[in-house]
Structure 1
Amino acid sequence: MSALDLVTDHDGTLVVSSETIAAGSGVQHKNVLELVHANRADFEEFGRVAFETRPLATAGGIQSRQVALLNEQQATLLMTYQRNTEQVRQFKKTLVRAFFDMARRLAAPQVPLSLPEALRAYAEEVEQRQALEAKVAEDAPKVLFADSVAASETAILVGDLAKILRGNGVEIGATRLFDRLRNDGYLIRRKGTDWNMPTQKAMELGLFRVKETAVTHSDGHVTISKTPKVTGKGQAYFVNRYVGQASRQAVAS
């Protein structure tokens, strides 16, 4: 597949699919799609993220799966969230060339009607690129954090995650973080033996693991104590999510 084949036209906008990014980056498509959903508010600062359903051949037959279609700015931002492997670095350059070459090919037959129109078009392009550069710079600490812990085998307590969030500008303690995780659907809200345990969604995303400890009581009977712990992937996920939300709230106020 040539560089130009990576990029397609979708309702007048040049886009690249999450499938193409996954294949080019050497990662699973579901992981790319998780990044899109987890940081969707960030991506939609550069336009609405389009989705479509495509057929997927599996051992059990033809199934369907959701695919994201990202414009140039969104795709560039997504690549900053990827682990910085050699394959990812090479694909970044390929993707930049693909967008540039496709835009040039489509624009070649067109000539601006006037000098003011050409100047306005150039000014808009510069403004979009400056906005993207500012966004990438703003997210740099989060991306570095994600690179350092996403593959870590070390799981931490929710209270320790609260300390990390405070170090990244989110004013929150352990109690408030537990409450927020319950309200956001990552921990079980209903009172009972499963209270504060990870939800099915959180476990499927790999954000938590549960530590089980045998406790022997004075009368000799043994119970199992369960403690939710945040995985390395979960630490990166929640820092990206909650630091991003805090930044947007600060800008809005």
Structure 2
Amino acid sequence: MQELVTTHQNESGDIIVSARELHEFLAIKTQYTKWFDRMTEYGFVEKTDYIAVSQKRITAQGNETVYFDHHIKLPMAKEISMIQRTEKGKQARQYFLQVEAAWNSPEMVLSRALEFASQQRQQLLAKVAEYEPKAAYYDYVLQSPSLIRITDIAKDYGMSARQLNAKLHDLGVQYNLSGTWFLYSEYQDKGYTHSKTFVREDGGTNSHTYWTQEGRIFIYELLKQQDIYPLLERQELDQQSEVPAYENI
């Protein structure tokens, strides 16, 4: 089949045609922009049947100009060709019918299905790779006791309890009152922490804040937004970013 007008496939899997190229093939004497505006009066809808595209170009005189075109879908291209009522229009319409038939042939349908499946597989593998470290840390957290000290969470990141408490304070999560850390009201009803009160030898009491599994995951997600990862993940990320060295031959 001789290619009369170039066809492409867009990201949505539709066949598209350059309206300007079609205008040229049809040998339309009317200026392109005026002609296309008239064609849209037949009920074609922008972003459904076509999209406008433009690019800046330099003329032979060295001036900058804007080059306008439209990418139209195959059904619109067929109908526009038929509207012209010329021999060129008839040729274009017959050509587009052949393109459509080839596009919908069992071989092409199977080919597109296999390509789509391949793309989906690659996206799935990328998602798995993205979440593998997270899942590993989640598993580690879920194997831990239900309540845990901030000291133990800090160790996950190679920090001291003081450093992690200060970081959570800087991020607007908690505040210190008489030596005890408390969550700001925004986080108090999330089930992130639990307080335990201990009786001292002198009869007084001390209150200590412990973090729940949910709270530990919250800290993980919060610190990840700051590009701070647990040592467990940091090692895996470092391994993934390693580039193999090749000896000079």
> TM (normalized to structure 1)?
0.38
Larger helix fraction of residues: 1
Larger Rg: 2
What is the TM-score normalised by the length of structure 2? Answer: 0.39
Higher relative contact order (CA 8 A, sep 6+): 1
